[in-house]
Structure 1
């Protein structure tokens, strides 16, 4: 299976609810009650248990559930030289009126990467592959990394080290290219670029607030985000499948953005050179399926029709009906099914139980087998 590529007909985004004893171990580590080796041992055990459960219910892709991370994106950034972080005192990001406790992350110099910790994290999961499963690695997209450090709040700090945004963009592409080579050498053939930039851009007002740009300047910024992603993809080995997940925010069952894909479809769907898109379509915040007509070439779409934000199980017939609706805009053989996002983009997790999490994944598989056979 190590040569097969995601997506699969029934799939998932990547993160899972952290078991209670893993959360406790992380608290104990932060308080100095256990050392790194003890924490790693707990993480290892929890990841093995997670992968066994994924295999048990019949999925073909495995991840570490992001169990070694605090957040879906910042831990990756912390693996770069030139990036530091500290515990936030107050919530620093608002998700649907809930303050998110996410570490303050900032630059201390020009970025570079070598021996990124995620490479060893991947090797651990890679060793758990079998004849029916393949491991994938999830990371924030290059555009996400760039946007984080050039947004309205952090741009001034970035320019202290780089002078120009263009110089920073060049280093982002270079560092990501080096990471891709490292993870590829470790055996990775499925890489997923998680991306909240496009999820923010679907909301015109929020796009201005996040970037500090508007009008022609904002449009140029969108084009640059696209170029960064494509430049990194272009450098990657041909047999590395690179997919992307577009997210509108996923913290403790809340979100930070709403809006249909229409406003970003030309760039995101028409010009980003990924193999597949994992798209949120679990409620009205995502709009209709019409923008899927902009998906270029033979690219695939993973419909996120089952929500990870609420515990209630979706109605099977209703989900199938929505798949049939999406089929009007893109052929069924290029459509796939998954939950709309991970179950725990941050370690706090969404507001459902592990049992409810697995029920969601079983439903996704059941529906996919009925639709695609």
Structure 2
């Protein structure tokens, strides 16, 4: 009996995803540079959104690095001394990120742009020297994610087809209208954090920025339901993983546990592509919440973790309510 050699040698995307995410977590949590915990998030988005690496991936990375440097330089020049101008600048760049994220060729650039414009000016309010440090950490995470993404496709190559368009399905409505709706949902809570300079706001704003980008996806028409599921399931997975890691505080166990989560999520992601935005957002939410605490090395990690979970839960509740308003206005 003949064996189908093509199917035997076809790479398993679940294996590629799992090994790549595990390697990214091992490097980022082990070396622990500034914003290291976002590297696995970037990598997960690559695997979820793009079929193969190519020149477009490098182009987005170079543009993202340039944008990060520009934002850090603008902040270091003293724009934080003018709150109204600062908030207007943040809103405009967020709108641009939402708009670009709807283009399959620019969604990685949009993710880094969103994180940069939310976090870099915020740390600039505390210390003018911090924006450059944060920008460097963000660029290292982006370069690391691209390098691991490229490596995984070299180890588990797809059949030769050249670089194709990302696999995600985007919204068919007017891009600017969709971007404005996403900004309407997320910006008020961002302005609140900036105005009151809430302690521990960096994690929450990173969570909101990454999650709110998914509102531009075609699978997110019911914005409030999407946000509710993402917040609840992502938060519960983070709490479950955290409690297990507190019980067994061993680095290899952490890698094995998160590899298991990655395998389960990736299997769902590839077997149900119509729900891929939901699964990707849930996994990103878990990685951002859990990773920021594990990478911090805080001696009071338990208190820090649940304080951050509570802050994110309140911000998530606001997003769900605001998205409900948008849903009702769209139906009306």
- TM-score in same-fold range (> 0.5): no
Q: Which has the higher contact order (CA 8 A, sep 6+)?
A: 2
Q: Normalized per residue, which structure has more helix?
A: 2
Q: Normalized per residue, which structure has more strand?
A: 1
Give the TM-score normalised by the residue count of structure 1. 0.25
Give the TM-score normalised by the residue count of structure 2. 0.27
